[in-house]
Structure 1
Amino acid sequence: MLFPAFAQAQAQRVLLVELEGRGATVAQRMIADGLRERGLEVTEVGATDDLAAAATEARAGAIVTGRVRSRRRQYQVTLEVRDATGGEQGGVQMRVRGGRGVSRLIDRLVGELELVPTAASPTVPELGAPEADAPSEEPARATERAAATAAETDAPPDRGGLPIEARFMLGAGVRSRGVELLSPDGVDAAYRVEPYFEIAARADARFFDVAFARVVFGTSAGLTSEREDPRLGQLDTWFVRLRADAGASYWIDDTVELGAALGVGWDRYELAFNELVPTAEYVHLRPAVVSAFRLVGRHLVLDAEVGLRFPFGVGELESVYGRDYDVLGVDGVMRFHGLVDPGFIWAAEVGFRHYELTLRRPSGAVEGHDSGWHATGYVGWQL
């Protein structure tokens, strides 16, 4: 081999193209981490039709593409190994259960990568040997290895990490709130503020590409409320919300996701003492339907979610308008989000919330609503 040091450096650079299929996010992260632990330089790119150009730009000597199928806690991984021109050289097909078998999958993949010829490693014929081209045995060997690994099922446990995907984001945006209470004695109450500034944070984790858990928090910043009579001054105001839930969702044809979640939430709309609208507090149970649509792989995804809210209380509203009450809430959100390599994530969402109120007192029932909209942007990191 001529210039062996240069050829070895080229072979150590691998272009990992975005894997396709359900469970691809978790599997790709484990594959990339495993290759790096074995001393290879890995460049991850999105789906592309020009593999040769992408490999040239990354100065990679080998390309890995493939597809992942996830069923419960089991991953069916099919990888194709290609040279720098995009020509197929071999492959690995293996079933991985949870965090088991990952090391064996990586070992087989590294073995395939070692057989990929590079432009910098031509073979020099020995002196006196015939110069006729000898048939290459590499494709046959690769085919045999792929067939052997196809039967692989439950590999022994290893130290590979669990397929958990975690994200944390910080954000800011605007929200509104409008309250209207209609009393039978003609003494009505109303309150409206829009828009007001909010600081928000959210964290979520996904397990085995099926189950998930989420926490969302938001608080108003610098908010005050004006009285109808300016001479009475302003009202100290603080709005805060917190929600935690868990659920499961499944990908259909790798582009549409459907699922459900169940959680608890807390909305507190604190107002300083006033004559009409006291502090409202809604601690509620929230079942929800969740969905997602991959528009451009993982780089642009549309989420849509609708939830019902069943409050356990209404805060100080009951002390003013009656302890016997019926309250039902509903909310919805539409969110665009995406992943930017290596782990930067972003999201932008709009949504609404609405509580329908009926509070009963001896003089009659007070009916009304407490509702609002929001628009929030987030940036964060995915692990």
Structure 2
Amino acid sequence: MRILVAFLLVLATFGSAEAQTRRGTVLDFSGWRGSAARNAVVRGLRNRLDLVSSREVAGTGADLSTPAGIANAARSLALTVFVQGEVQGRGSRARTVIHVFDANGNEVAMREGPAPLGGARLGRVSRAAGEALDQALVSIERREAEEREAERLREEEEARAAAAAAAAEAASMESEEEEEDEVDGENRLPILVALVGLDLRTRNAGVNLEGGGGRDYEAGLFPSLTLQLQSFPLRGMGGAAAGLYAQFDFGISLGLTSQELDLAGNPGPELSTTSMQLGIHVGYLYPLEDDVARIGALVGFGIDSFSIDDNGTMPSSKYTFLRAGLAADARLYDNLLRVRADFGYRITFGVGDLEPTFGESASAGGFDFGLGMHGQLDFGLTYGLRFGFTKFSTDFSGVASGDHPATATATSLSDRSIQIGLQLGYAL
């Protein structure tokens, strides 16, 4: 369990390094020469904010005319600053009004600038935007400090309550640990299994072009370094709660390159290529008959990417998905030999550079199937042998666009992968 906590702390520390610059957006300005006013505001703020495009904000579907809508968009995109405004009047007497809102939809600053006309006046609009941001940040940082203080007081109160509860349960915990030690080790669920290994993978993708014809990509067999963490964190509680299950998977290719063939079949220069898989799953595997079998369901989030240098055949893909699946595990010979089967459907909501290279929009889905054997020795050494198959299917609509050399309007794409792997590790 300590290993899991340390792992999560490393992830949190890594994430915090990217949060130093506030994320914000500049929405459209209404009125005469509103686009010129907005561009001037963007120039004034782009070195101070991590700006998200107004198109991406609109894509959240939030009603940005209300505080609740702004708050919804802020939560979806991790934004803390919203800037919008209008140009009042026309000609040289027009005024540019700049409004700044926080992540709760509250207006925290307002500044006026001159008409968005001419270089000097546009520069003053940019400076007015910077002044508005300064005023807004004072208010936002004050509110955040108050929220942090309230959270600190709440955590202190919870810590005092937890300490009192821990003291009251200390004797009971000692008794439970003694009972757990008496349980036959081969029938105990592992609280943590850490495995590293090597997979041999394939990748085959075929795209059907509009009007006939198609393109194919085949990676052949290549190695991938893998890491897997499995945990039954509530094993010590016994009963039904012990079946709560979490799993983390990561894999990355080693030394993978690609070559594009010309019309005569001659290979071109080597192209840098990387295959990466990431999965985080939680669920429930109910242990039957002293762990003779486990059966249950998992849900999770994953990324399956295949990055390749620019070429005229196939762009990079990055499938981002939610996975819902079933899992079953059975003991064949003590804990030295168990078998496991997994099946999952992947609800895909991102395909990487496939869109818009092959179409204006894309819809995709996928599934995976896995079968493996694994076991554990008395002193904790564990192993795993596994086979897996994954397939994504993508349909395209609209005309392809972009500057990728493989750009062509397509109707559909099929992407398949097979993996065979060996892993070694330790179980607690």
If the length of structure 1 is used for normalisation, what is the TM-score?
0.57
Q: Distance in 2 between matches of 1:221 and 1:328?
A: 27
1:226 equivalenced with 2:271 (yes/no): no
Q: Aligned letter for 1:369? A: S
Q: Distance in 1 between matches of 2:322 and 2:382?
A: 29
What is the Cα deviation at residue 268 of structure 1?
1.0
**CA 1:103–1:268: 2 relative to 1, 3 Å:** same
Q: 1:334 aligns with which of 371, 375, 378?
A: 371
For residue 344 of structure 2, give the secondary structure of its aligned residue in structure 1: strand
Identity %: 24
Q: Distance in 2 between matches of 1:268 and 1:108?
A: 46
Q: 1:103 aligns with which of 174, 190, 195?
A: 174
Q: 1:314 aligns with which of 338, 346, 351?
A: 351
Q: 1:235 aligns with which of 271, 285, 301?
A: 271
Q: What is residue 425 of structure 2 aligned with on the other side?
A: 380
For residue 273 of structure 1, give the secondary structure of its aligned residue in structure 2: coil
Q: What is residue 222 of structure 2 aligned with on the other side?
A: 196
For residue 103 of structure 1, give the secondary structure of its aligned residue in structure 2: helix
**CA 1:109–1:216: 2 relative to 1, 3 Å:** closer
Q: Aligned letter for 1:181? A: V
Q: Distance in 1 between matches of 2:328 and 2:170?
A: 27
Q: Aligned letter for 2:386? A: E
Q: What is residue 249 of structure 2 aligned with on the other side?
A: 216
**CA 1:164–1:232: 2 relative to 1, 3 Å:** closer
Per-residue Cα deviation, 1:177-207 (whole angstroms, up to 9, x for no partner):
0000011223411100121111111112112
What number of residue pairs does the alignment pair up? 235
Q: What is residue 309 of structure 2 aligned with on the other side?
A: 272
**CA 1:344–1:184: 2 relative to 1, 3 Å:** same
Per-residue Cα deviation, 1:25-44 (whole angstroms, up to 9, x for no partner):
xxxxxxxxxxxxxxxxxxxx
Q: What is residue 412 of structure 2 aligned with on the other side?
A: 367
Q: Aligned letter for 2:248? A: V
**CA 1:267–1:99: 2 relative to 1, 3 Å:** farther
Q: What is residue 331 of structure 2 aligned with on the other side?
A: 294
What is the Cα deviation at residue 232 of structure 1?
2.9
**CA 1:99–1:247: 2 relative to 1, 3 Å:** farther
Q: Distance in 2 between matches of 1:99 and 1:233?
A: 66
**CA 1:345–1:109: 2 relative to 1, 3 Å:** closer
Per-residue Cα deviation, 1:254-311 (whole angstroms, up to 9, x for no partner):
4222101110001110010011210000010001101111111221110100011111
Q: What is residue 58 of structure 1 aligned with on the other side?
A: none
Q: Aligned letter for 2:205? A: V
**CA 1:106–1:367: 2 relative to 1, 3 Å:** closer
Q: What is residue 5 of structure 2 aligned with on the other side?
A: none
Q: Distance in 1 between matches of 2:332 and 2:267?
A: 54
Q: Distance in 1 between matches of 2:304 and 2:328?
A: 24
What is the Cα deviation at residue 323 of structure 1?
3.1
Consecutive unaligned residues of structure 2, counting only runs of 5 or more, are 1-168, 183-188, 236-241, 401-408
Q: Distance in 1 between matches of 2:179 and 2:325?
A: 43
Q: Distance in 1 between matches of 2:277 and 2:365?
A: 17
Q: Distance in 2 between matches of 1:265 and 1:105?
A: 37
Q: What is residue 295 of structure 2 aligned with on the other side?
A: 258
**CA 1:231–1:225: 2 relative to 1, 3 Å:** closer
Q: Aligned letter for 1:266? A: I
Q: Distance in 1 between matches of 2:335 and 2:303?
A: 31
Consecutive unaligned residues of structure 1, counting only runs of 5 or more, are 1-97, 113-162
What is the Cα deviation at residue 361 of structure 1?
2.2
For residue 212 of structure 2, give the secondary structure of its aligned residue in structure 1: coil
Q: Distance in 1 between matches of 2:179 and 2:276?
A: 52
Which is higher, the Rg of structure 1 or of structure 2? 1
What is the Cα deviation at residue 226 of structure 1?
1.7
Q: What is residue 150 of structure 1 aligned with on the other side?
A: none
Per-residue Cα deviation, 1:70-109 (whole angstroms, up to 9, x for no partner):
xxxxxxxxxxxxxxxxxxxxxxxxxxxx997463477799
Q: Distance in 2 between matches of 1:107 and 1:381?
A: 23
Q: Aligned letter for 2:414? A: H
CA contact (8 A) 2:360 2:399 kept: no
Q: Aligned letter for 1:179? A: A
Q: Aligned letter for 1:281? A: K
What is the Cα deviation at residue 344 of structure 1?
0.5
Q: 1:282 aligns with which of 319, 326, 333?
A: 319
For residue 313 of structure 1, give the secondary structure of its aligned residue in structure 2: strand
**Which structure ranks higher in relative contact order (CA pairs < 8 Å, sequence separation ≥ 6)?**
1
What is the Cα deviation at residue 372 of structure 1?
1.2
Structure with the largest fraction of helix: 2
For residue 261 of structure 2, give the secondary structure of its aligned residue in structure 1: coil
CA contact (8 A) 2:358 2:399 kept: no
If the length of structure 2 is used for normalisation, what is the TM-score?
0.51
Q: What is residue 176 of structure 1 aligned with on the other side?
A: 202
1:356 equivalenced with 2:427 (yes/no): no
Q: Distance in 2 between matches of 1:232 and 1:109?
A: 62
Q: Distance in 2 between matches of 1:231 and 1:305?
A: 38
Q: Aligned letter for 1:251? A: P
Structure with the largest fraction of strand: 1
Q: What is residue 139 of structure 2 aligned with on the other side?
A: none
Q: Aligned letter for 1:272? A: D
What is the Cα deviation at residue 349 of structure 1?
0.2
